[in-house]
Structure 1
Amino acid sequence: MRVLVTGGAGYIGSVVAAQLLEAGHEVSVLDDLSTGHRDAVPAGCRLFEGGIRERGAEVLAETGAEAVLHFAARSVVPESVAHPERYWDGNLGCTLALLEAMRTHGVGRIVFSSTAAVYGEPESSPIPEDAPVRPGNPYGASKAAIDTALTEYARLHGIGAVSLRYFNVAGAYAGLGERHDPETHLIPIVLQVARGLRESVAVYGEDYPTADGSCVRDYIHVADLAEAHLLALDGCRPGEHRVFNLGNGTGFSVREVIDVCRKVTGHPVPAVSAERRPGDPATLVASSESARRELGWTPRRPELHRIVADAWEFHTGRTAADTAAG
């Protein structure tokens, strides 16, 4: 199948592009490289540099794409609170432009990289797909609005759409890993401490109603997540918008993550206590029973040690390569 991956120079998009190639698909990538990396686009992909509004329709026409996997988005919650207009324009606005381009060029499938942040502070955990959608920030709200648009485009124009909602993604695959600047995710931040790039890691709140007082979150290996996207591509049904949560079936506390990072790296990793962050729920874990049942998806790398070890191998490998190049 001819597939276009928007945001394919980013962390998750590049891993999905790699797995699509391995599965025998013809893969093109559209990325403006504002947060992605040119060298993350897997060899064998055709890279189109630019934004969705500027080049989306052109690229769909030139490549003859039959499906889109849509990762291009802004995804930093604090930034969305400070600059909500960037998220409504960059997430919802660009996706509407993409959907119009798909409709115009007869592209019938889309898999959307959504987020479990659309649920806000859930009433129960693990979170099922029928939980109330009530996002607590503009980032989650923009993603929820895109889901509404996908439902309407499926109903009105017959496209087959799948939204995949997940929380924290980590690990590495085929030499592809997380490289955000600035980094906002816990595991790479802790590994930066282990590499001597930060003095310590902050634990925001230690009085939550959890086993050790720190927040509990769902972590999923990026390779498992990518495999779910390929299954979702096959699971697109004309005229239907399907929604699935993706999780590893359990959660890990901030303290647990730090301890595992210490064991994997062999470094002490100092941790300092900090005040709770506004809006941080005690526990966020997504139920993935529907994905298991309807897509046949099962995470094959659920162990936190494996997730951290793969991320550590990626970061230490890049450090060695940078040192040798310098």
Structure 2
Amino acid sequence: MRVLVTGHKGYIGVILVPLLLERGYDVTGFDSDLFRSCDYGGHPVPIPEIIKDVRDAEQEDLEGFDAIIHLAGLSNDPLGDLNPSLTERINFEASERLARLARDAGVKRFIFSSSCSNYGASGDNWLNEDSAFNPVTPYGVSKVRVEQALSKLARDDFTVTFLRNATAYGVSCRLRFDLVLNNLVAWAVTTGQIYIKSDGTPWRPIVHIEDISRAFIAVLEADPALVNGEAFNVGRNEDNYRIRDLAQFVKDTVPGCEVAYAPDAGPDKRCYRVDCSKILKTLPGFQPRWSAQKGVEELYQAFTDTPLTLEEFEGDAYQRIAHVKSLLASGKLSPELRWQEQ
């Protein structure tokens, strides 16, 4: 099977691609490579690739592929807030256009990387795939709009599936510190403090990027009748934690560190718990392998093996919004987030 992975050089993509190759897939990447200078402890596995902005995709780019896994887009709330109208164009309009082009090109499967951010501010309630959307950021809104638009494109010969990933964590050569568990471990390693910017009470579901990747593969290999037009929360029910509980895992793992709260720490409106039972029941081949504790240990080991400094942690290489702002300030990116120089 020929598979096109958009965003193959991003945080999740560099983990997903080798897993696809191990299972014998013929994989091609599609990525503008915004983070080409941001490698940590390794480099993406080289594969055939189309270096191109997803907004510029053409039908001929997609012809001959059996499936598309669509990861590309502005990847989190701060980056989405940078320019909400641009987030709309990249995350929503380009995704809808890509799916239409894929269907016209004869692609049979389209798997969209959605998010539990769709649920937004939901407090202590458990949320399943039928729960109401309540996004509180342009990023969350864009994910909701893609799901609503693409669900109308699904048909018998064009299987569309939405994976609503919990908050990702884990080691990647395109590392990110703007994710809660990665961030807490990095604070502990570089400063001896586990710095929490909220009051620690918000709920957050988390999932390792390898398990996210396995979820994509499980959908790719599923009977289309089971997954067409369906959304799946990706994670484990037991991996819904309050932020303060995640901080305790870090404290128990990283020697000599202590929990510290920001002076103005208060509740975070992004608070939600998600029920991930559906994917486990529908796709028994999907079995998450990671826990929060194991993830903390992996991160700590990585930051020790490839020593992480405070300067690197606070720099712009591994913070998506900071890196993009740096590229804008240097003139390498246009205000539309297009490369000015290659």
Name the TM-score class by shorter chain: 0.7 to 0.9
TM-score (norm 1): 0.83
Is 1:275 aligned to 2:277, yes or no?
Answer: no
The CA deviation string for residues 32-69 of structure 1, in whole angstroms up to 9 with x for no partner, is: 111465764324x22221112324534323xx211000
* 1:297–1:219 Cα change, 3 Å: farther
Which residue is 2:187 aligned to? 193
Instruction: State which of 210, 217, 221 in structure 1 corresponds to 2:208.
Output: 221
Which residue is 2:44 aligned to? 41
- Once residues 177 and 75 of structure 1 are traced to their aligned partners in structure 2, the CA distance between those partners, rounded to angstroms, is 16
Amino acid at match of 2:167: N
Is 1:230 aligned to 2:224, yes or no?
Answer: no
* Deviation at residue 164 of structure 1 after TM alignment: 0.6
* 1:314–1:97 Cα change, 3 Å: farther
TM-score (norm 2): 0.80
- Once residues 145 and 51 of structure 2 are traced to their aligned partners in structure 1, the CA distance between those partners, rounded to angstroms, is 26
Partner SS state of residue 217, structure 2:
helix
1:10–1:40 Cα contact (<8 Å) kept: no
Equivalenced residue count is: 303
Partner SS state of residue 48, structure 1:
strand
- Once residues 309 and 257 of structure 1 are traced to their aligned partners in structure 2, the CA distance between those partners, rounded to angstroms, is 12
Is 1:69 aligned to 2:69, yes or no?
Answer: yes
- Once residues 126 and 166 of structure 1 are traced to their aligned partners in structure 2, the CA distance between those partners, rounded to angstroms, is 15
Amino acid at match of 1:231: A
* Deviation at residue 276 of structure 1 after TM alignment: 2.2
1:52–1:94 Cα contact (<8 Å) kept: yes
Instruction: State which of 51, 54, 61 in structure 2 corresponds to 1:52.
Output: 54
What is the percent sequence identity of the aligned residues?
A: 22
1:5–1:29 Cα contact (<8 Å) kept: yes
Q: Which runs of 5+ in 1 are unaligned?
A: 207-213
1:109–1:236 Cα contact (<8 Å) kept: no
1:291–1:297 Cα contact (<8 Å) kept: no
- Once residues 248 and 15 of structure 1 are traced to their aligned partners in structure 2, the CA distance between those partners, rounded to angstroms, is 19
Structure 1 range deviating more: 93-102 or 30-39? 30-39
- Once residues 292 and 123 of structure 1 are traced to their aligned partners in structure 2, the CA distance between those partners, rounded to angstroms, is 24
2:11–2:175 Cα contact (<8 Å) kept: yes
Two-structure CA RMSD over aligned residues (Å): 2.6
1:190–1:269 Cα contact (<8 Å) kept: no
- Once residues 299 and 65 of structure 1 are traced to their aligned partners in structure 2, the CA distance between those partners, rounded to angstroms, is 27
- Once residues 286 and 299 of structure 1 are traced to their aligned partners in structure 2, the CA distance between those partners, rounded to angstroms, is 17
Q: Which runs of 5+ in 2 are unaligned?
A: 313-342
- Once residues 268 and 145 of structure 2 are traced to their aligned partners in structure 1, the CA distance between those partners, rounded to angstroms, is 23
